Chains A and B, each alone.
Chain A
C-alpha cells in the first residue's frame, strides 16, 4: 500500500460506498490486514465489502474517526475524559434497532474498544431491571414451561421472574 493514500473506500453489505481514513481503519484488525494486503490506490477497481449494513457502518466509522487520533498518538487525561463523554453520547441509540448491529459489527471487526463499550451499554440497559423488564427491552420470549419455571424458582430462590 502506498503511504500517500489517506482514506480508503469500502462497501457496506447493502452495497453503499463509504470512505474511512487509514488511521481510523487501523482500529479494526481485519481492516488493518486488508490495508496490508489489498491495493487501495485510486486506479484500483476492487472495493472491499464489509459485512455490516450501511446504517451501522456509518456509526462504526464515526466511532473509528473519533478514536483514531488518541489510539495513534496517546493523549492526555483531559482528552480521555472528553472521549468518555463522547462515548456516552454516541451510545444513546435506539436499542431495538442498532445496538444489536453495533455489537455484531464490533465483534466481527475485532474492535476491542467498541466491543467493550457496546457490551457495557447493553449491560447498563439490564442493570437494576427485573427479568420481565429485560424481556420487554430486548423482546426475549419466555419459552419455559410452568414446570421448568417452578424448578428454576427453587434453584434460584433469590431471583424472581417478575
Chain B
C-alpha cells in the first residue's frame, strides 16, 4: 500500500518556481502558457517565463497566433523575459507594423537573446531600428528563407543612422538584405565584443569593398569568402569561408597573421600554390585545415620552398576534397604528407562525378608518398 502512495505522489509540483520555470522555458510559448490549466500550483507561473518561443506553425489559424502574441506581450512580466524567438510564415499576410510593434515591445526591456526567423514565401520584412540600439542584447539571430521557385523572403536592414550593440556576442545573419555595404560595415563595427559571427546569403548592393577594423574578441566566424577583408577575422581561432550564392564584389586583401587560428576551412575555385602557402605561413598555430575544390594543375617544386611553421609543428588534420588527381592537387597532398611532423589524419575525397576507378588509381599514387609519421591515418574516398 505504501509503495502505491509514494508512486502517485505529485512530485513535480513540489519543485521550486525557478526550476518549474526553467522546464517551461524549453516549451513553445503556447504550451508553456497552457500549463496554467494543470493545477493551482502551475497557474501563476507563466507570466514569469524567461523564454518566449512564438511560432506561427504552432497555431491552426493566423488570427489565433496574432491574438496569442498580443496577449503574451501584454500579460507577461517583460522584466523576466531574457530570450524571444519569433518564427513567422510569410505565405500569409502579416502587417509589418504589427511585427515591428511586437519587436519594439520585446526590445523595450532587458532581452538578451532575440531570434527572428521568416518561413519561406514572398515578401521582405524591414527590421525596426530598436533592434540595432539594444543595450542588453547578447545574441541576435536573423534569418530570411528561400522557398519554392527561389522565392526569397529576406529580413531587411534599413538605412542605419545609429547602431549601438555594446554587449552583442553572437550574430547570425541568413538571407538578410542590406541597402549597401556601408550598413553592413556599420553593424559589424558597432559590435565591439562580438565573439561568434555566422553569415549566409547576404543580399543587397555590395558594389564596393568594406573597410572596417579587426573584431578584437572574435573567436569563430563562418562567413562567405571574399566579402569582408581578412583582417576583420585575424583574432579568430576558428574560421570557415564558404562560397556565396550571389555575385558580390570580390574583396582582395592582404593576408594578415592569424596568431590564434587553429581551424581553417576554405573553398577554391581555382588557385595557385603561392596563395595556399601564404595562408599557411600566416597561421602559425593551425591544427586543422579543410580545403574544398582545390583545382590546381600547376606543379610545385617542393624542394625550393620554405615549409610553413604550422605544417611542421602544429598541423594535426588535413582534409582535401574535390581532389582530381591533377599535378597541383597531388603535389599539395604530397607536400603535406612529407612535411607535417605531427599529422594524425590526412583525408582526400575525390571530386564530384569522378569515376569509380579513381580510388584504386589514386590510392596507389598517394600511398607511395612518404608520410612523415607512422601513426598518421590516410583516408581516401
CA–CA, A96 to B3, complex, Å? 12
Contact B12 A140 (CB under 8 A): yes
- Determine how close the nearest CB of chain A comes to the CB of B75; give it in whole angstroms: 10
Picked from A103, A139, A142, the residue with its CB within 8 Å of the CB of B8 is A139
Q: Tell which of A119, A126, A134 touches B22, judged by Cβ atoms closer than 8 Å.
A: A119
Question: Is B361 in contact with chain A by the CB < 8 A criterion?
Answer: no
Complex: chain A residue closest to B59, CB-CB = A158
Closest-CB distance, B21 to chain A (whole angstroms): 9
- Complex interface: chain A residues within 8 A of B38 (CB): 131, 134-135, 140, 142
Cβ–Cβ contact B35 & A103, under 8 A? no
- Chain B residue total in the interface (Cβ 8 A): 35
In residues 75-117 of chain A, which contact B (Cβ within 8 Å)? 96, 100, 103-104, 107, 115-116
For the complex with contacts A123-B24, A140-B12, A158-B34, 16 further pairs of A-B residues with Cβ separation under 8 Å are: A100-B12, A100-B15, A103-B15, A103-B19, A115-B22, A119-B22, A119-B25, A122-B12, A126-B35, A131-B37, A134-B38, A138-B11, A139-B9, A142-B39, A152-B43, A158-B67
In the assembled complex, the Cα of A103 lies from the Cα of B24 at a distance in Å of 14
B4 CB to closest chain A CB, in angstroms?
11
> Contact: A144 with B39, CB < 8 Å?
yes
Q: Which residues of A contact B (CB under 8 A)?
A: 96, 100, 103-104, 107, 115-116, 119-120, 122-124, 126-128, 131, 134-135, 138-144, 149, 152, 156, 158-161
Q: Check A123/B26 contact, CB under 8 A, given A140-B39, A159-B33.
A: yes
Query: Which of A96, A142, A156, A159 makes the CB contact (< 8 A) with B7?
Result: A96
User: In the complex, how many residue pairs between chain A and chain B have their CB atoms under 8 Å apart?
Assistant: 90
A67–B68 CA distance with the chains assembled, in angstroms: 40
With A100-B12, A138-B10 as contacts: A143 and B40 at CB distance below 8 Å: yes
B349 interface residue (CB < 8 Å to A):
no
Residues of B within 8 A of A149 (CB): 37
CA distance A120 to B42 in the complex (A): 18
A33 to chain B, nearest CB (A): 21
CB pair A156 B33 closer than 8 Å: yes
A37 to B16, CA, bound (A): 29
CB nearest neighbor in A for B27: A123
- Most chain A beta-carbon contacts within 10 A, residue among B11, B27, B40: B11
Q: With A119-B22, A139-B8 known to touch, is A126 a contact of B16 (CB < 8 Å)?
A: no
CB of B37 within 8 A of CB of A141, answer no
Q: Confirm or deny: B172 has a beta carbon within 8 angstroms of a beta carbon on chain A.
A: no
CB-CB under 8 A from B16, the residues of chain A are 107
